[in-house]
Chains A and B, each alone.
Chain A
């Protein structure tokens, strides 16, 4: 517990090997609950002394959870900017939380499946994280954690409005259910904007990392609920589950249809992506993510025999600025990072042969062609 966050975190290579249902397309599932203590102002309004008091109440309560027996726990003022950036790149804490200092805290369990932010926008932001599509499991876990905490803690709650949160957009259940999806074929086949609009109409938000639609970084999209009041937690989870099942189908179909109707366009994208990523001497983080996305698609389609998807997923993480800086004593400039990133990619992809010219094997392209099973 006195260990630094770097000693604590599961190495990126190992973390990338975690697997879950439908993880070819669903990178991760997340459920978040917002809670506040009745007697205190919300973190954004309260004085520092209020936040410190809240932290004093909440931190031991969270640390006392059986799920947190083995944990990382610290206050944000004890973390360096580098530590915080690493946590953001691992999607463990929000950027907003990373910007906090004294009076805010963080508790993460050994498996990195439970991560609690103290004094973010609300007193408590609890998150349950799972690889692949496991929203129900994530909700069940977090529901239990919340029930265990509501005993000793006095949460602000009204029968009419539910759990009271700093922002009215989270009022009621305080729940945010979300999944990160990799949708390269829907982007390549230019169906993505239409799909996003359809999903929006169902009251769900779709976000790319930068901009929307085709501009999404690494073809990664996050789908989440927007409404938190007037609907039960499990209804929200089931509604998103239904939409995700459809999105998975659409992406699978788009992959199969590209293979059948536009194979050279598809192989061209994957081949060029490999060519650049494996041979560049200077490459930005943005370009890297977009090209790795196409390589990931190539792996899924069997164009890189013997290459595991986890290699690409690991590279997604370790080519991010803070991860790249990790272990280097000198602080790199953005330009130096682009050089270091390219060096790392060339090194790590040295053994990867250029992609096959066609989809080999008896499998009828796309369809059920799943990854070599790893359990």
Chain B
């Protein structure tokens, strides 16, 4: 059996992992397994390797000739496909569309539910409050309760002013 990476040497390292509910296999030779960090239990994921081997295909945007690139770091779609890595935080905005499917297949969900930096927690709360207030305002306008609507507008102004003064997350759209 030949190595999947160099396609030259005999594969001696055989890996199996469950990805997207399917069993994926990769066979590597000793030097390639070393260079891919496979023998290093702290830094290896088969998903990474498969990405590098072209499993990132679905992230390819259907616009040949017009290659997407990141204005911040210059990373291109081809760079991403080749390395399976993004170039900078901004890249996540730029390659957003193509990433969706990939993230879905890789992770439990596509929305972060874990830790939020303390400095952004208020930002998050304020955003949620703003959204709720806007809903209330619409409802008040609908039932022609203009008194409540005026109060709500004040509250919305206050909240969005506060929000403006807070540190922002990234990419902010």
Contact = CB atoms under 8 A, between A and B. Distances in A.
A232 B114 contact: yes
Nearest to A217: B39
B12 interface: yes
A63 interface: no
A180 B103 CA distance: 27
Interface in A206-221: 207, 209-212, 215
Contacts of B110: 229-230
Interface in B14-62: 14-19, 23, 33-34, 37, 39-48, 51
B113 A232 contact: yes
Nearest to A143: B115
Contacts of A231: 107-109, 113-114
B106 interface: yes
A98 to B, nearest CB: 9
A88 interface: yes
A223 to B, nearest CB: 10
A226 interface: yes
Contacts of A180: 41
Q: Which of B12, B85, B99, B171 has the most CB of A within 10 A?
A: B85
B108 A155 contact: no
Q: Which of A32, A36, A168 has the most CB of B within 10 A?
A: A168
Interface in A31-66: 32, 36, 38, 40-42, 44-46
A207 B15 contact: yes
Given A38-B170, A158-B112, A169 B86 contact: no
A161 B92 contact: yes
B17 A200 contact: yes
B102 interface: yes
Nearest to B44: A207
Contact of A41 (B18, B88, B169): B88
Contacts of A161: 92, 103, 112
Contact of B45 (A42, A45, A169): A169
A42 B15 contact: no
A208 to B, nearest CB: 9
Given A95-B43, A121-B85, A211-B12, A164 B99 contact: no
Contacts of B115: 143, 146, 162-163, 173, 232-233
B94 interface: no
Interface stretch (B2-10, B118-126, B133-141, B150-158): B118-126
A161 B42 CA distance: 23
B138 to A, nearest CB: 23
Q: Which of B51, B108, B167 has the most CB of A within 10 A?
A: B108
A226 B116 CA distance: 20
A232 to B, nearest CB: 5
B75 interface: yes
Nearest to B80: A168
B117 interface: yes
25 contacts: A45-B79, A45-B87, A94-B37, A96-B37, A127-B42, A151-B119, A154-B167, A159-B120, A162-B115, A163-B112, A167-B51, A168-B106, A171-B92, A197-B16, A203-B108, A205-B17, A205-B45, A211-B13, A226-B17, A226-B18, A226-B19, A226-B106, A227-B108, A231-B108, A232-B113
Interface of A: 30, 32, 36, 38, 40-42, 44-46, 88, 91, 94-97, 120-121, 127, 143, 146-147, 150-151, 154-164, 166-169, 171-173, 175, 178, 180, 196-197, 200-201, 203, 205, 207, 209-212, 215, 222, 226-233
Given A95-B40, A203-B108, A212-B15, 14 more contacts: A42-B86, A45-B75, A94-B37, A95-B37, A154-B167, A158-B169, A168-B84, A171-B92, A209-B41, A211-B13, A226-B45, A227-B107, A227-B108, A232-B115
